[in-house]
């Protein structure tokens, strides 16, 4: 089924670029909805899950607020508030550097580590459900095309 069929759109798109852009947006919305639904029972958002994954990858050293913000899939305007909420939930811990009190490192708390580890299988299943019908070659091609599209972004 084409996007025009999904949207019940009678008129053609104005350009291939518009059609491609809307296909990307629609696919992203479908994938994000599936992720949000999977995370709902755990009372966290996709952005909070992204932070948990980022901090797990950073290891024991953790990351400063700016580094977390730079690595987010979807940028948020107030990373500090996002981290505040996650700290209140007991998912992360922030530690001030003894030498430079201005530097605050954000790390996974045990509760956050357990949650992100627990979600691995469920999230992998969502990826398989939505993209598992594509071959490895198709997935590599898709990744390459999306990377090329983003390369022109400011």
Structure-token pair, residue 95:
């530690």
Would you say residue 12 lies in a domain? no
Range list of H helices, 10-153: 16-39, 46-58, 65-71, 79-88, 110-131, 136-150
> Which range marks the domain in which residue 69 is found?
43-150
Would you say residue 60 lies in a domain? yes
Would you say residue 27 lies in a domain? no
**pLDDT tens for each residue of the chain, 154 residues long:** 899 988 999 999 999 999 999 999 999 999 999 999 999 999 999 999 999 999 999 999 899 999 999 999 999 999 999 999 999 999 999 988 766 667 789 999 999 999 999 999 999 999 999 999 999 999 999 999 999 999 987 7
Is 106 in contact with 64 (CB distance < 8 Å)? yes
Tell me the C-alpha distance between 142 and 154, whole Å.
Answer: 21
Q: What is the CATH number of the domain that holds 95?
A: 1.10.10.10
Would you say residue 142 lies in a domain? yes
Considering its fold, how many domains does the chain have in total? 1
Would you say residue 37 lies in a domain? no
Would you say residue 52 lies in a domain? yes
Name beta bridge partners: 96: 104
Would you say residue 65 lies in a domain? yes
Would you say residue 13 lies in a domain? no
Is 133 in contact with 94 (CB distance < 8 Å)? no
Tell me the C-alpha distance between 35 and 19, whole Å.
Answer: 24
Tell me the C-alpha distance between 120 and 127, whole Å.
Answer: 11
């Amino acid at each position: 089924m084409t996007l025009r069929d999904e949207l019940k759109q009678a008129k053609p798109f104005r350009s291939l670029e518009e059609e491609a852009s809307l296909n990307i947006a629609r696919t992203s919305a479908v994938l994000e909805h599936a992720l949000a639904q999977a995370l709902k029972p755990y009372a966290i958002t996709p952005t909070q899950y992204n932070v948990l994954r980022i901090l797990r990858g950073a290891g024991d050293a953790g990351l400063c607020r700016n580094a977390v913000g730079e690595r987010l899939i979807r940028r948020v305007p107030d990373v500090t508030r996002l981290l505040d909420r996650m700290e209140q939930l007991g998912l992360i811990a922030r530690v001030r550097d003894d030498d430079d009190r201005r530097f605050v490192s954000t790390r996974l708390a045990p509760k956050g580590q357990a949650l992100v580890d627990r979600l691995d299988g469920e999230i992998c299943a969502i990826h398989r459900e939505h993209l598992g019908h594509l071959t490895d070659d198709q997935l590599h091609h898709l990744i390459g095309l999306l990377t090329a599209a983003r390369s022109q972004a400011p």
